[in-house]
Amino acid sequence: MSNNVQSRPVVLRYREAAKALGVSQRTLWLWTKAGLIPHVRVGLGRRKTILYPLDEIKAWLARQSQTQVDGKKSGATATREAGTK
C-alpha cells in the first residue's frame, strides 16, 4: 500500500528561496546578512548552511505586503531600492 500524499518542504535552501522570492541570490544574501529575512543557520565548519523556514517566509511576505499597502517601506524594499540607485 503506497501513500500518495506529496510532502511539501518545510525549509528552502538558499537557491530555492531566491528563486521562490523572485530575487537574485546576491539580494537574498544581503537580506540574510542584514537580518531582514527569517533564516536559520545550521551545521558547523564546512558543513554549515542557511535554511529559510517556509512558514516564516510566508508570514514575512504577508508582513511585507501589508507594509506596502500601509504606505511604509519595509527594510527589504528599502534595501532593494537603495541598490538600484
Q: Which domains are seen in the chain, by residue range?
A: 11-74 (1.10.10)
Q: What is the dihedral of CA 30, 34, 39, 40, to 10 degrees?
A: 110
Do residues 50 and 32 make contact, with C-beta atoms less than 8 angstroms apart?
yes
Residue 47 has pLDDT above 90, yes or no: no
**Mean model confidence pLDDT for the chain:** 83
Q: Please write the tens of the pLDDT for every residue from 13-45.
A: 999 999 999 999 999 999 999 999 999 999 998
Residue with the bigger pLDDT between 67 and 75: it is 67
Do residues 68 and 80 make contact, with C-beta atoms less than 8 angstroms apart?
no
